[in-house]
Structure 1
Amino acid sequence: MKTNLPLDADRLWADVMALADITDPVRPYTRRSFTALFLEGRAWLAQRFAEAGLVTRIDTAGNLIGRIEGNNPELGVIAIGSHSDTVPSGGRFDGIAGVATGLEIVRALRQSGARLDHTIEIIDFLAEEPSEYGLSCVGSRGMTGSLDGKMLDLTEPGGETLRDALRRVGGNPDRLIEAKRNDISAFLELHIEQGIVLESRSLDVGVVTSIVGIRRIEIVFQGEADHAGTTPMALRHDALAAAANTVAAVRRVAEQLAAEGENYFVATVGILTVEPSASNIVPGRCRLVIDARTTNPELTARFVGTIDLESAAHAAAAKVTRPKFETLSDGPPVACDPDLRAALRQGAHDLGLGEMDLPSGAGHDAAFMSRIAPSAMVFVPCRKGKSHAPEEWADREAIAAGAAVIYQAVRALDQSLPRSRGGEAA
């Protein structure tokens, strides 16, 4: 690992650790969006942004933004960011490392005496992780015009709407249109890989080629609840029997599609609820939710079509109905910008770092940002691929190397990006 990096690895590491320490002590490392701990972390970040010379604000979509003007603001913004919220009992690096990277890049630029032509913004997106309101990527949806009224009306278990929660953290749902941007020339995000490819190959960074599309499907099987001891097998209407065979079909079909070629495909049944859920009752109702992810939407279409047919057949075989087969959400796969990827690869080469191309099997704010600006990502290795768990770990040197790659790319893009723009900030 290179030691002559153009930024302060110790300072970057200290920021990551300090923000990680703002956590629920009973469930480290937990800092859920919209909570008091999340707002405490935001306050800490805002202070650090200000100390670095950034002008700080919260936009109407609830994103924390630090900004330093360029020599030629008409060229637009080079934005760097990620998120500071976590899943319950999450990790110290997912999202956090990306925000801290942006902050350290600004400090390193100022320390070097450089002032870029483009304006630089560091963004802490609101609620990238699934929130209590049932929605992820709230801030990046808002910044890209993808947060609608139906989403704002979602409620958490206590009854508060996302609309009211957004106001509570400094956003303004009544003026959400003001958060939509058309002045961003490039968006870059650092993230831990959440996989073992880089670690297993002893490589320093991954340049992300694409971010998977995610389709979530809800299936409900309706049968009849009966006594488990007195109802003959031939007379049962067992909803779980249909669901179990469908779960097996999801695994089998996903494995077939994944083995076809270079396209990435995975599918999981992560939710399975059984009613009445008693040991002596034949299940009368069963609900399952499928999470299917791919870099090729044609594979998703084939998967959904096959599972539709198979689940209907399993329902008939179990003598139950299938009242619901519904898409809950559908985000298309996103290809990262080739010019930004080339700048990242060149940055790695200039620093003498080992790199490779690889897809992202997880969703990120960069997927939404690609709707309004060229976007790309850098992955850094994490131990055993662990993420969304207290064991999540990335080495100090790994984060510094990834941050240095983005630093190099930002300086190069400042000169190579188009020198004219068609729009201004919203």
Structure 2
Amino acid sequence: MTSNIAVNADRIATDIDALAAITEPDKPWTRRAFTPMFLRGRDYAEKIFREAGLKTRIDAAGNLIGRRKGKVEGKGTLMLGSHTDTVPNGGRFDGIAGVIAALEVARALRDAGIELEHDLEIVDFLAEEVSIFGVSCIGSRGMTGVRPQEWLERTADTEDGNVDLAEGIRKVGGDPADAGGRTDIKAFLELHIEQGTVLEREKVDIGIVGAITGISRYEILIEGRADHAGTTPMNARYDALSAASLVVLGIERIARELAVGPSYFAGTVGEFSMEPNAANVIPSHVRMLIDARAVEPAVMESFVAQLSELCAETATERHVTIAEPRRVSNAAPTPMSEMMTDLLASSATRIGATSRPMVSGAGHDAAFLSKVAPAAMIFIASKDGRSHAAEEWSENDAITLGAAVLYEALLELDKK
């Protein structure tokens, strides 16, 4: 790691370790949003925000915000942050590294006696991960005014019984009646672990995210015929599972071919069920759900066209019925600000860090902040690409170097 940096590696390590210790004891590292363990983590985050000289509050969307007032009234807010909630069994660095790196930037400014012209806010966004209510990025959607109103009626079982999301937001200190939609944010930056192998494999310090992938999910239903597994000849079967296996392998083939092109693509059959699911009965029904991710709409359109053709060909070959793939959800791809990505690249160069452009294959709060302000992301390396698993790990030197790039970029943004 280069030596000409203003942030403090020891403070970053101490805070990440302290948050990691706040976990469900039998499920490291688990602090799911809206649970008592999450609120314990929030209490710690608020404490260290205050110790850094930040004025804290919970906004209407349920986000924890630490504010450092700028010297020019009304010039607007520069924002850094990520999230401290986790998936079950796998959140030691995912989100947490970004919150602590952002906090360390604020501490480094204090230590250097630097007063920004803009206000600075460090944010721990509520429920970036899929929450107990079945939806994600609740805090960033709420802050930017794009949280669907009907989400507030979604329910989940909690220690206080079955409650809706509106009540969940109130319990963390927010106000679900406030529709959000801030207009004072001038720029947003988020540091995050890569959750992949590119930076580690290429031995590059910093990934500069130019786009966050779009995510579409498609349901495929395959109808065959249930018959006796022992008495039905092999050449007289209408096996929905055998047909489904060809579809799954075809999806993998299409996805691999599209991923070789110049634009990002990934496709996964992540949800699968069959009926009647009995050892002595030929499967009559299969349902699968495909997760498809692309940055370029044309690439997604190509995937869907090839998927439809695959289903039609398989239905004919296997004498089953396969419904046209049905899109059940869609999140559009989000380009980051070119001005911001250029600034991150020059900031990395100034401190002697190597960098490369990247695409994020996962969703992040930055996608929603980009709807109201120029936004970009920094990736730092993940060991073996592991994430959403207990083995998730990023070296503290890598996080510290990312925080140093954040610091340099923030100083440049303040001048703009």
Provide TM-score, normalisation by structure 1.
0.92
1:155-211 deviation line (CA, Å, top 9, x unaligned): 346754333322332222222x1x221211100000111122222222221111211
The question of 1:99 aligning with 2:95 is answered no
Counting only pairs closer than 5 Å after superposition, residues 208-357 of structure 1 correspond to structure 2 as: 208-259=209-260, 261-322=261-322, 325-357=325-357
Amino acid at match of 2:253: R
Quickly say closer, same or farther: Cα 1:312–1:147, change in 2 above 3 A.
farther
Unaligned runs of 5+ in 1: 417-426
Amino acid at match of 1:114: I
In the alignment, which residue of structure 2 is the partner of 1:419? none
Contact 2:63 2:126 in 1 (8 A): yes
1:197-255 deviation line (CA, Å, top 9, x unaligned): 22222222111121111111122223333322223345433322332222112111111
CA displacement at 1:323 relative to structure 2: 5.1
Amino acid at match of 1:151: W
For residues 112 and 391 of structure 2, what CA distance do their matches in structure 1 show? 36
Contact 1:336 1:370 in 2 (8 A): yes
Contact 2:207 2:380 in 1 (8 A): yes
Moved more, 315-324 or 380-389: 315-324
In the alignment, which residue of structure 2 is the partner of 1:166? 169
In the alignment, which residue of structure 1 is the partner of 2:361? 361
Quickly say closer, same or farther: Cα 1:62–1:224, change in 2 above 3 A.
farther
The question of 1:410 aligning with 2:413 is answered no
Moved more, 232-241 or 140-149: 232-241
Moved more, 355-364 or 115-124: 355-364
1:98-140 deviation line (CA, Å, top 9, x unaligned): 0001111111111111110111111111111122322121111
Contact 2:271 2:289 in 1 (8 A): yes
For residues 127 and 195 of structure 2, what CA distance do their matches in structure 1 show? 19
Contact 2:272 2:288 in 1 (8 A): yes
Moved more, 76-85 or 346-355: 346-355
Moved more, 307-316 or 211-220: 307-316
Match of 1:75, SS state, is coil
Quickly say closer, same or farther: Cα 1:218–1:168, change in 2 above 3 A.
farther
Match of 2:127, SS state, is coil
Provide TM-score, normalisation by structure 2.
0.94
Match of 1:87, SS state, is coil
Contact 1:32 1:86 in 2 (8 A): yes
For residues 283 and 153 of structure 1, what CA distance do their matches in structure 2 show? 37
Amino acid at match of 2:389: A
Amino acid at match of 2:216: R
For residues 70 and 413 of structure 1, what CA distance do their matches in structure 2 show? 13
Contact 1:91 1:393 in 2 (8 A): no
In the alignment, which residue of structure 1 is the partner of 2:34? 34
Quickly say closer, same or farther: Cα 1:310–1:42, change in 2 above 3 A.
same
For residues 73 and 13 of structure 1, what CA distance do their matches in structure 2 show? 34
For residues 174 and 320 of structure 2, what CA distance do their matches in structure 1 show? 47
Match of 1:122, SS state, is strand
CA displacement at 1:361 relative to structure 2: 1.7
For residues 401 and 296 of structure 1, what CA distance do their matches in structure 2 show? 31
Contact 2:208 2:356 in 1 (8 A): yes
Amino acid at match of 1:130: V
In the alignment, which residue of structure 2 is the partner of 1:48? 48
In the alignment, which residue of structure 1 is the partner of 2:186? 185
In the alignment, which residue of structure 2 is the partner of 1:63? 63
CA displacement at 1:288 relative to structure 2: 0.8
In the alignment, which residue of structure 1 is the partner of 2:125? 125
CA displacement at 1:79 relative to structure 2: 0.5
In the alignment, which residue of structure 2 is the partner of 1:421? none
In the alignment, which residue of structure 2 is the partner of 1:424? none
CA displacement at 1:324 relative to structure 2: 6.8
Match of 2:177, SS state, is helix
For residues 400 and 212 of structure 1, what CA distance do their matches in structure 2 show? 26
Counting only pairs closer than 5 Å after superposition, residues 139-178 of structure 1 correspond to structure 2 as: 139-156=139-156, 160-175=163-178, 177=179
Amino acid at match of 1:265: F
Match of 2:74, SS state, is helix
Contact 1:221 1:324 in 2 (8 A): no
For residues 320 and 301 of structure 2, what CA distance do their matches in structure 1 show? 25
In the alignment, which residue of structure 2 is the partner of 1:420? none
In the alignment, which residue of structure 1 is the partner of 2:203? 202
Contact 2:308 2:324 in 1 (8 A): no
For residues 156 and 257 of structure 1, what CA distance do their matches in structure 2 show? 38
Quickly say closer, same or farther: Cα 1:46–1:365, change in 2 above 3 A.
same
CA displacement at 1:271 relative to structure 2: 0.8
Contact 2:144 2:181 in 1 (8 A): yes
Match of 1:286, SS state, is strand
RMSD over aligned Cα atoms: 1.8
* Number of aligned positions between the proteins: 413
Moved more, 320-329 or 95-104: 320-329
For residues 332 and 321 of structure 2, what CA distance do their matches in structure 1 show? 30
